[in-house]
Amino acid sequence: MKLRTQFVILVGGIIAVPFLVSAFMLLVQFTVLRGREPLPNYEQMRSWILGHVSRAARRHDPAALLDQRPPGLDIVVLDKNQVVSMSTIAELPAGTSAAGGALWAYVSANAEHFHFQFDSAEPRGGDDSLIILKLPRMRPDEARFRNLTVQVVMYTSIALLVFSSLMSFLILRSLNGSIHSLEGATRRIAGGDLDFVLPARGNDQISSLTRSFDSMRLALKEEYARRARFIMGVSHDLRTPLTLIQGYVEAIADGYAAEPDAQKKYLSIILDKTRNLETMVGELIEFVRMETGQWRMTHQDVQARPFLMDLARRFAEDALILKRDFGWSIDLPDDATVRMDAGLFTRALENLVGNAIRYTEQRGRITMDARIQEGSVLLSITDTGVGIPAEDLPRIYDPFYRGTNSRREQGFGLGLTTVKSIIESHGWNISVSSQVGAGTTFTISMPLAPVHAA
């Protein structure tokens, strides 16, 4: 069922329920009134009248009529001269003459709310006394309660109707406006338009959805911009070695390198540029696989000390060839174990050490230190290179970002992005500190495997 249909049903129910309740209450009241006796306590009063009135009349004792008189029943006794001889009605005291019209005036004034019954004191003749019985048409307390109930139901229904109608109108207007706004924004995004602002008013769920939708729009806009930068960066960085390769090939083809030594030199340059191009393409493929999740991690427990020692020896040989000094200090127990994907982590360390070698001058020093601290292996890679300016530090992990000191180097600027992706995919942390002219230190925190950490 659609949200709008559900809302319409809800609004219809809010509006219809008060009417249904009121109609039900009125129907119940009408049914009860139809089944009610013409006079309240009629049977009790009828039984009392038949038993006491005739007995009191036979005894010529009107005062006996007051004995066990039912509640709400008033009695007036007229003698043969039509004078009130006894009365329980304050307006008709004893001695009042019916001939004066007071009795009939009282009866006329109260006939709307009371029944008046006239009986002879002696049915077979006698003193010709007349007994007048006054019975209420409805008990006052019952009438007040019923009127109060009707008023409460009526006023409650009216108030509920007004409130629900007003709130339904406000909610429907807000919901309808938000839905139309989101629908329009969706169409604009589908059409490729991301340069707009989607306002969100209030703090309800629809406003939260609107803000989330606008955040999605901004993220999508940033992703499109990132894709454009990606294409531009790839195109620019791949064009340089390709242009050089093309130039040297054309030079050989045009006979500019007819001599064997010149051809050998040109072919060596072409081979070097081809290797650079291969490295760049491999870096690009690696980045795409990382970003799209098209790689699988194989975690297993690895003994940290022998693993890092093997890598340190390899890095030392690479540094020696490039005339850099590489040293290490692996201060770890032999049984210290870290759960990792050894292949991916090796790739991350190769990127870090490769950057350290690249940005360190000849005869500079690079060190790799590892130690245990608070249940984790802290691995630090430090160089004495050019350092990273403070303004570049917050963005060194951004894809395609080339810092001030790295713009002359070949590559896409994806090395540190790949490193951070690998480290975070393991659930580890990486931090960096650097000073221009003094060098850079990258520190990786790797928790020990649970058994060994304990």
Comparing 346 with 3, the larger pLDDT belongs to 346
Percent of the chain topping pLDDT 90? 14
Look at 2 and 253; give whichever has higher pLDDT.
Answer: 253
pLDDT at 153: 72
pLDDT (0 to 100) of residue 407: 44
β-pairing, 376-383 vs 337-340, is: unpaired
8-state DSSP, 97 = B
Per-residue CA distances from 302 to 3, 245, 297, 306, 332 (Å) = 54, 43, 14, 9, 13
Q: Which of 14-23, 36-45, 193-202, 346-355 has the lowest mean pLDDT?
A: 36-45
Q: In which element (H, E) is residue 286 found? A: helix 260-292
pLDDT tier for residue 442 given thresholds of 50, 70 and 90: very high
Looking at residue 452, its pLDDT comes to 47
For the segment 395-404, the average pLDDT, to the nearest whole number, is 67
Q: How many CB atoms lie within 10 A of CB 281?
A: 13
What are the pLDDT digits (tens) for 66-83? 666 777 788 888 888 888
Q: Give me the pLDDT at residue 102, please.
A: 81
22-31, 148-157, 318-327 — most confident range: 318-327
CA-to-CA distance for 194 and 301, rounded, in angstroms? 47
Residue-wise DSSP of 306-364:
HHHHHHHHHHHHHHHHTT-EEEEEEE--TT-EEEE-HHHHHHHHHHHHHHHHHTS-TT-
What pLDDT sits at residue 119?
Answer: 72
Q: How confident is the model at residue 40, as a pLDDT?
A: 54
Quickly tell me which residue has 């191009």 as its tokens: 277
Spell out a b/e string for 190-221, using b for 16 or more CB atoms within 10 Å of the CB, else e.
eeeebeeebebeeeeebeeebeebbeebeeee
Pairwise CA distance, residues 49 & 70, whole Å:
10
Residue 379's pLDDT is what? 95
pTM of the model: 0.45
Residue 360 has pLDDT above 80, yes or no: yes
pLDDT in tens, 228-250: 766 666 666 677 677 778 888 88
| Mean pLDDT estimate for the chain | 77
How large a percentage of the chain has pLDDT more than 70? 71
**What pLDDT, on a 0 to 100 scale, did the predictor assign at position 372?**
93
Task: Report pLDDT for 329.
Answer: 94
Does 31 or 257 have the greater pLDDT score?
257
Reported as a single tens digit per residue, the pLDDT across 408-418 is 455 455 678 87
pLDDT surpassing 50 at residue 335: yes
Is a pLDDT exceeding 60 seen at residue 182?
A: yes
Mean pLDDT, residues 255-267: 80
Residue 22, both tokens: 């009121």
Q: Does residue 191 register a pLDDT over 60?
A: yes
pLDDT at 443: 95
For residues 136 and 28, the model is more confident at 136
Span 328-345, mean pLDDT? 90
pLDDT attached to residue 35: 46
| Domains parsed from the chain with CATH numbers | 3-37+142-181 (no CATH), 42-137 (3.30.450), 205-292 (1.10.287.130), 300-453 (3.30.565.10)
Quote the pLDDT of residue 312. Answer: 93
pLDDT of residue 454: 44
Identify which has the larger pLDDT, 328 or 183. Answer: 328
The single-letter code of the amino acid at 232 is M
Contact by Cβ (8 Å): 79, 129: yes
Query: Where does the pLDDT of residue 377 fall: very low under 50, low under 70, confident under 90, or very high at 90 and above?
Result: very high
Report the range of poorest mean pLDDT among 8-17, 326-335, 371-380, 418-427: 8-17
Q: Which of the pair, 315 or 26, is modelled with greater confidence?
A: 315
pLDDT digits (tens, 9 = 90+) for 268-306: 888 877 877 777 677 667 666 666 555 556 788 999 999
CA distance 25 to 28: 5
pLDDT at 37: 45
Ranked by mean pLDDT, which of 161-175, 182-196, 418-432 comes out on top?
Answer: 418-432
Is the pLDDT at 114 greater than 80? The verdict is yes
